[in-house]
Amino acid sequence: MNTSSIYVFALIGLMFLIAPKQWWPGFYNPTFFGVTSLLSSVLIILPKLIFRAKEICDREAVTLLRTTILIALLLNGMGELYLYQLYKYGFPYDKILHFIVPFLFVIVLTSFAEVRFGAGFKYSLIIAAFFVTIGSVAWEFFEYLSDLLFKTTEFGIYGQYKFIDTSFDIIFDILGIFTSIISLNQKEFYAKVVSGYCQGKQ
């Protein structure tokens, strides 16, 4: 699945960059979509290149990380293609993502640190929460930069209500992070979600 998704994102990226702009709806930015799709391919394969694994447990940890990256990219891609527009009908798709994605990444990165590096649970959780928090802020910065470089309207709600929207994005990020921390500290949840694979190594 991860391998095929690399080619799919690459093909989609090339299609956005090559196809005539009039093919797309007015709220699309083909150049931006094309570049981010190509970058998505790189992000999916990057963990496999960086964290080369020989043991089964390590491979599973890397695969889980790549799958989580893929899920986050797909959810964002669906939003860019239309679902972010649902705010017009009162459905905050972007806020749901700002909760779900940090929630998933804290869980997966905690598990990854334990399995890959043999770190203790509390240390792994702190590190995971720290990096996800940094990533949440970096995402807002990325949206700001994309507006400058590609003339998009990613920052805020399609270029409006920038401060309010960004503030709520970060609030939902933090809610997702804290919910994952609370969940992971529940032994039953941790055993099912995190320790469900490679139990021998953990």
In a domain, 68, yes or no: yes
- Residues in the chain, total: 202
Range of the domain at 90: 52-193
pLDDT digits (tens, 9 = 90+) for 19-41: 888 788 776 778 888 888 898 89
- Region of 56 (left: φ > 0; alpha: ψ -120 to 50; beta: rest) is alpha
Q: Report pTM.
A: 0.83
In a domain, 30, yes or no: no
In a domain, 70, yes or no: yes
What is the separation of C-alpha 108 from the centre of its chain, rounded to a whole number of angstroms?
A: 11
In a domain, 13, yes or no: no
For each of the chain's 202 residues, which pLDDT tens digit applies? Answer: 667 888 888 898 898 888 888 788 776 778 888 888 898 899 998 888 888 777 777 888 888 899 999 999 889 888 877 787 787 787 889 999 999 999 999 999 998 998 888 888 899 999 999 999 999 999 888 877 776 776 666 555 555 666 787 888 899 999 999 999 999 888 777 766 655 556 544 4
The runs of H, that is alpha helices, within the chain are 2-18, 30-50, 56-81, 93-117, 121-150, 162-184, 187-193
In a domain, 144, yes or no: yes
Domain count for the chain, please give it: 1
In a domain, 20, yes or no: no
In a domain, 108, yes or no: yes
In a domain, 46, yes or no: no
* CA-atom Rg of the chain in angstroms: 18
Q: Extract the tokens encoding 165.
A: 């929207």
